[in-house]
Amino acid sequence: MKHLFRKSSRTLRSVREFARGLRHTDHPLLVHLVPIRRCNIDCGYCNEYDKVSPPVPLEAMLTRIDHLARLGTSVVAFSGGEPMLHPDLDALIARIRSHGMIAGLITNGYLMSPKRIEALNDAGLDYLQISIDNVEPDDVSKKSLRLLDKKLQWLAEYAHFDININSVVGGGIRNPGDARTINRRARDLGFSTSMGIIHDGSGLLKPLGPNERIVFDDVMGQINSGRQVMKNLYSGIRRFQANLADGKPNDWQCRAGARYLYICEDGLVHWCSQQRGSPGVPLASYTVQDMRREFLTPKWCAPMCTIGCVHRVSRMDFWRKPQRGETGTQPGRVRQAS
């Protein structure tokens, strides 16, 4: 009964935030907040981690969360690195919820256990996403179904939050057909599923080969069929993903820096994880005026962007305030994993 109540409450809060986003544009819909850059695994295609960074101090993280609340943020999701390495993660989730914001977590899943899942329940986590790249681990990715399946079973049994399992193609994944197995297993466990195309080091398109495209079409057909469309919070950008699979650009208005913010471990605001340095403004001094500027700034990387979360939140405003003026410039490549 408690689980059903929390799910109903989460749905009502999501609907409320969706309606607020339609009415007003001067607040972020989704923020990805990095509490630690370190990761406990190393995937060959990833440029978002290192092996040495300490966790951001608790007080600094709480201050950032409080400022995001003042900006009117709808959803704050932790990413990394591996955010579950942060020793105060539960307190950070609780702080998000104390402000009435929706709390999310993007994790590789390795540190899940029944005890940790219960702690995440108690903290008030709303949703969690795990990307699984293959069935068996290899030198490209350790995020494999064989190593994570027990964790998924625990999540199905104990979690009171929504769970999405993301499968991928491209980016050197050796067996694209593994995505079918991963998607099927996740659905059998009752999770929503999604699929992504792995980007290059700048977050841009790597077109799919013929075999990858067949798998992509098969899995996307399952995701976008029947109940899954209604259940899957991560669907709704089919045309964008189909164009990427064909190697075609997308004509859209990226609202990164406004509706979507990426906050790195140093507390700086960036367009996304792959364009760190733009605008590179401290969150502590980020204002509505900054968001209004970025809302109307065309992004040089938008046509070939594969960052699905930015597409999803930007769809809210596709019909209003066309972007004009000088295109935001490329700040240089993000730092690579070390």
The Cα–Cα gap between 304 and 300 comes to 9
Residue 168: φ, ψ to 5°: -135, 160
pLDDT at res. 171? 63
CA nearest to 216, candidates 190, 245, 243: 245
Q: What is the pLDDT of residues 271-304, one digit of tens each?
A: 999 899 999 999 999 999 999 999 999 999 999 8
Q: What is the pLDDT of residue 54?
A: 96
pLDDT value at residue 101 = 97
Query: Whole-number mean pLDDT of the chain?
Result: 87
Average the pLDDT over each of 14-28, 136-150, 165-179, 180-194 and give the range with the smallest value: 165-179
Percent share of the chain, pLDDT over 70: 88
The two tokens of residue 81 are 């690195």
* Band of pLDDT at residue 50, cut at 50, 70 and 90: confident
Of 337 and 93, the structure prediction assigns the larger pLDDT to 93
Contact present, 45 and 172 (Cβ < 8 Å): yes
Distances (CA, A) of 282 to 89, 266, 297: 22, 8, 18
Residue 31: count other Cβ atoms within 10 Å of its Cβ: 27
Rounded mean pLDDT, 177-183: 90
Maximum mean pLDDT: which of 15-24, 162-171, 190-199: 15-24
Characterise 184 by phi-psi region: left (phi > 0), alpha (psi -120 to 50), beta (else). Answer: alpha
Q: How far apart (Å, rounded) are the C-alpha atoms in residues 48 and 68?
A: 22
CATH class of 2-317: alpha beta
- Residue 327: per-residue pLDDT: 72
Q: Please indicate whether residue 209 or residue 56 has the higher confidence score (pLDDT).
A: 56
Q: Token pair of 65, please?
A: 């969360």
pTM as predicted: 0.89
Domain ranges of the chain: 2-317
> Residue 111: how many CA atoms within 13 Å on its side-chain side?
17
DSSP lists the bridge partners of residue 251 as: none
List pLDDT tens digits, range 217-256.
888 877 776 444 334 334 445 677 778 777 788 899 999 9
Task: Note the pLDDT tens digit of each residue in 82-138.
Answer: 999 999 999 999 999 999 999 999 999 999 999 999 999 999 999 999 999 899 988
Per the model's pLDDT, the better-predicted residue between 209 and 328 turns out to be: 209
